Structure formats: C-alpha cells, structure tokens
Amino acid sequence: MALTGIFRGLEIASSGMRAQRLRLNIIASNLANVNTVLSDNGDGYKPKEIILKPKGLNDFKEIFSQKIDLYRTDRKHFPEDEKDVVKEKVGEGVEVTSIVDKDIPPKLVYDPSHPLADKNGYVRYPNINPVEEMVKMIEAQRAYEANATSFESIKAILQKSLEII
C-alpha cells in the first residue's frame, strides 16, 4: 500500500527494515550451513544472496514541483535549458526482488576418513566465508538500526505535529 504525504517517510523506513531483516535471515542461514556436507553431485545447501531494488523511482524535479508550487511561481529556481538539469531519482523505499543461490563452486576439504568423502578423499562444503558473512551481518544490522532511528524520528515529528494541532 503506497502512502502519501506525511506518512511516506514511515513507509520508506519500514520497507528498509523489512529488507534488512530478511537479509539478516539469509546471512544467518548461510552461517548455519557453513559445515553442511554436500553430496558428490553437488546437492545440498547453496549459499544464498538477497537482491534488492529501489521501489517506485520518480524524477526529483517532478516530485518537487508537485509538492511545492515553487516551479510554477518562480522559474528562475530551475535552469531554462533542460540539458542542465541533473536527473535525480527519488525512491519510495526498497523491495526484495529475489533470493538467489550464489553460483560458486563448493569448497573441497581433504579428509579421507570422513564417511562422505569422494574417491579422492575430498569432502564438499558450501563455499561460505564466515568472516565475509559476519561483515555483511554487521552491515545489515547497522542499516536496520538506521532505518529504525529514521522511523522513530518521523514518528516523533508526527506526534509533535498532533500536539500543535
């Protein structure tokens, strides 16, 4: 549901929190399956990745001129020549387009005593770097916190606005 006006910021922040929560779940799933053994034909857990894209991109100039009548009242605020206008895009949040399996070969570990070792003594594991996943987890956590802080700030502004009215 697309919100407009003063509630739009809440929607943008909440879409960011939803996306980062899902991203954290995917990262946790990758970390939980670091030591999962794959079969000889490669069946088993494959590392996953989330694909995000901005939702509802609009031209900034178009939004600005709709929300504030400045464009219609005083043209000197905008360049006369359209070539000089930098086309900035403004989104309405973020959306998850898909969750995909990473296309990377499995990690081979030499362990001939392992019951699932192949004829050469190698055991196949998902190629997941725990350090890289932890860095991604910290990044996703910080992005979630930033969106939550933004949400709380917008909520506080709305509450103060109601007190004024």
Q: Where are the domains of the chain?
A: 5-56+91-164
Quick one: which of 154, 160, 124 has its CA closest to 12?
154
Is the per-residue pLDDT at 54 higher than 70? Answer: yes
The confidence band for 87, taking pLDDT boundaries of 50, 70 and 90, is low
The confidence band for 29, taking pLDDT boundaries of 50, 70 and 90, is very high
- Packed helices 8-32 and 130-164: angle between N→C axes, nearest 10 degrees: 160
User: Which string of b and e fits 49-68 if b means at least 16 CB within 10 Å?
Assistant: bbebeebeeeeebeeeeeee
pLDDT at 81: 57
The confidence band for 46, taking pLDDT boundaries of 50, 70 and 90, is very high
Measured CA to CA, the distance from residue 90 to residue 56 in angstroms comes to: 8
User: Cβ distance 59 to 82 under 8 Å?
Assistant: no
First-residue to last-residue Cα distance in the chain: 27
Measured CA to CA, the distance from residue 148 to residue 5 in angstroms comes to: 19
Is the per-residue pLDDT at 71 higher than 80? Answer: no
The tokens for 63 are: 């939004």
The pTM of the whole model exceeds 0.85? no
